[in-house]
Structure 1
Amino acid sequence: MNLGILGAGSIAGTMAQTIQKLIESGCKDVSLYAVAARDLPRAQAFAAQYGVQKAFGSYEEMLADPALDLVYIATPHSHHYQHIKLCVAHGKHVLCEKAFTVNARQAEDVLRYAEAQGVLVTEAIWTRYQPMRQMIRQVLDEGVIGTPGLITANLCYPVSDRLRIVDPALAGGALLDVGVYALNFAEMVFGPADEAHASCTKNELGVDMTDQMVLTWKDGRAAHLTAGVTVASDRSGCIYGDRGYLVVENINNPQSISVYDADHRLVRQLSCPAQLTGYEYEVLETVRCIREGKTECPSMPHSETIHIMELMDRLRAQMGVAYPCEGLE
């Protein structure tokens, strides 16, 4: 299956490396076929660096190539809605980076369009596809920590020097960039929250820099989540039960699970299976689902993408964060 990368930034480079490593490992399911950037020299430089077969100086030109099957969208959040629609209009399947769109209205609209066109569109939030998700679930299902009742998680990086993080025109801020991982971590364990509350600090442009989020469930469970773009944090996620707790190393790409009993003694430790980059799981599931004629992936179905966008809409409304790119234009 021929993959094209729309955008030529750093995350696009990670995807290109992923496809390279898949091919080197003997995988014949996907090829690194094309890359498109806003100008041809940028695309050509990317293609030369990563061994991409074709380089295009416009997105439309790449999408017009009949040999292209699947597009990975690696542009800022602010442009995802437009770029997904553009790909779908050309009959291409889509793996789009998180945050999927700027708001739930855009997500619902573009997913309806994709369904009508009969193409697969899925959100590339890698933690949903990785095997560590099932490993965490297995430990919980074994009852080692008893009944889980509380989650804490944090994800912060010092990235406020990047324009896409601080500019409202690019749908910047902590929530859509890193807070989305904390929310997904909590809801992959506890399911959809019944209530959600948030507060934040902002920059001079009104974009959230540090977020505090509290999710609660009617049965008494709760999740306390922190996301930020001005400091570095330990990125840990903890799930607490009445017989112990487990600690996940790096909720943005879980590397290990440490299980403790109620007396804080380490009773088990599990390591992440060997990875190529961690992106390979979303690629392989997407390719498999396309071949099976599906229009969504089971690890991140459309209903979950829309739900997470609705949740972030509610949290942004509470924080008073809005963007000029929230329409359906």
Structure 2
Amino acid sequence: MSRPTDVTVNVAAIRPRLPDPMDAPVLRWGVLGTGWIAERFVAALRRNTRQVVTAVASRDGARGAAFAGRHGIARVHDDAGALAADPEVDIVYVATPHPAHVGGALAAIDAGTHVLVEKPLGLDAAEATRIAERAAAAGVYCAEALWTFFLPRFDVVRQVLESGVIGPLRTVLAEYGEYLPDGHRAMDPALAGGSLLDLGIYPVALASRLLGEPRRVLATGDANRFGVNAQTGALVQDDAGALAVLYTGLSGSTPTTATIAGTRGAIELPGPFYQPGDVIVRTWADGEILRYTEPAVAHEALYWEAAAVARDVAAGRTQSRERPLADSIAALRLMDAVRERLGVSYVRTNEGVA
């Protein structure tokens, strides 16, 4: 998302500019992983696009076969390499636990296959940079599946920011807290558990996109009895003095809202801000000047990112326009700075498994 300018735009008339997902060129998708997000991604594609899922890979053969049966997928593989080398697969969607993202991504890239990696792109900026550099060298498409930035809602936000109507950016407020039960994978240190990568990536990515490289980062938080970070608060400031106030936690649900405020007005994103929903724009002089509304269909909207990726690949692009790899790396660099202040580190195990 661009920083505000002084372009004159009829803000009240702003609507999403995204093409119909049904018109996106068809790719043959291979899915690495059979968990919660993979289920929703495949279901959303089947119901809302012409994309075709041709193969799935899981190290657990029974889980892979069951997943394939539920979704009408013909081909089942037992590892990332076999999936990436499948001649019926144009692009791999990496939907494994966080520590295996880098292995899954590199397996696809090394096979010369395009790849969409579920958020976060890597456990840290170093892993994300490694993926980006390998993809660039191979000349294949690579993007992070941070679906928020592909949604119609966020195209509206982009246009409002570009209009300059709220004035120069001063404040970003964003939070995401959710109650996650003891058995959730986010409670497992071996799976890079905690709130930061699962939930915190959304407010951190928003702040990073808007503020750019931070001049100052302050953070505090605590761990739970499983040894993973339970909640985190952070203050981030850029060179122009704009400030982001961020929160994430896994011990209780919060409104999950975001506000982007400038010197002349603000953009309000009612919760959950990272999903489909409303955009409200107010100026200090005129009050509410835009209320954009779209159906709050939650993860059913994952298909928007797949359609955008399919258009990119068909056009010969190697990165996403909505989520360039530089943005993914910058967000993880900010996350690294937050983790450094908290003393949080991750275990790296089982690269590339599903």
Give the TM-score, by structure 2 length: 0.84
**1:13 matched to 2:39:** yes
**1:164 matched to 2:185:** yes
Equivalent residue number for residue 292 of structure 1: 315
**1:100 matched to 2:121:** yes
Equivalent residue number for residue 257 of structure 1: 279
Distance of 1:140 and 1:115 partners within structure 2: 30
**1:77 matched to 2:98:** yes
Q: Which runs of 5+ in 2 are unaligned?
A: 1-26
Equivalent residue number for residue 184 of structure 1: 205
**1:2 matched to 2:28:** yes
Equivalent residue number for residue 54 of structure 1: 75
Distance of 2:263 and 2:82 partners within structure 1: 57
C-alpha deviation, 1:261, in angstroms: 4.5
Q: Secondary structure of 1:232's match? A: coil
Equivalent residue number for residue 114 of structure 1: 135
Distance of 2:209 and 2:294 partners within structure 1: 17
Equivalent residue number for residue 340 of structure 2: 317
- Against the structure 1 CA distance between its residues 59 and 187, is the aligned structure 2 distance closer, same or farther, given a 3 Å change threshold? closer
C-alpha deviation, 1:60, in angstroms: 3.4
**1:272 matched to 2:294:** yes
Which amino acid in the other structure matches residue 257 of structure 1?
V
Q: Which runs of 5+ in 1 are unaligned?
A: none
- Against the structure 1 CA distance between its residues 260 and 115, is the aligned structure 2 distance closer, same or farther, given a 3 Å change threshold? closer
Distance of 1:284 and 1:18 partners within structure 2: 11
Distance of 2:295 and 2:119 partners within structure 1: 23
Which amino acid in the other structure matches residue 21 of structure 1?
R
Matches within 5 A, 1:151-230: 151-230=172-251
C-alpha deviation, 1:16, in angstroms: 0.6
C-alpha deviation, 1:281, in angstroms: 2.1
- Against the structure 1 CA distance between its residues 58 and 200, is the aligned structure 2 distance closer, same or farther, given a 3 Å change threshold? same
Matches within 5 A, 1:127-146: 127-146=148-167
**1:239 matched to 2:260:** yes
C-alpha deviation, 1:90, in angstroms: 1.9
**Number of equivalenced pairs:** 324
Equivalent residue number for residue 57 of structure 2: 36
Q: Determine if contact 2:208/2:334 at 8 Å carries over to the other structure.
A: no
Q: Secondary structure of 2:300's match? A: coil
**For the aligned residues, what is the CA RMSD?**
2.4
Per chain length, whose mean CA-contact separation is higher, i.e. which structure has more relative contact order (CA < 8 Å, sep 6+)?
A: 2
Deviation string, structure 1 residues 292-324 (Cα, Å, up to 9, x no partner): 222211211121121111111111111000112
- Against the structure 1 CA distance between its residues 127 and 192, is the aligned structure 2 distance closer, same or farther, given a 3 Å change threshold? farther
Distance of 2:245 and 2:172 partners within structure 1: 6
Q: Secondary structure of 1:278's match? A: helix
Distance of 1:131 and 1:66 partners within structure 2: 33
Which amino acid in the other structure matches residue 57 of structure 2?
A
Moved more, 134-143 or 107-116: 134-143
Q: Which runs of 4+ in 1 moved over 6 A?
A: 273-276, 326-329
Equivalent residue number for residue 48 of structure 2: 22
Moved more, 191-200 or 227-236: 191-200
- Against the structure 1 CA distance between its residues 90 and 146, is the aligned structure 2 distance closer, same or farther, given a 3 Å change threshold? closer
Equivalent residue number for residue 63 of structure 1: 84
Deviation string, structure 1 residues 73-92 (Cα, Å, up to 9, x no partner): 11111111111111222221
Distance of 1:106 and 1:289 partners within structure 2: 23
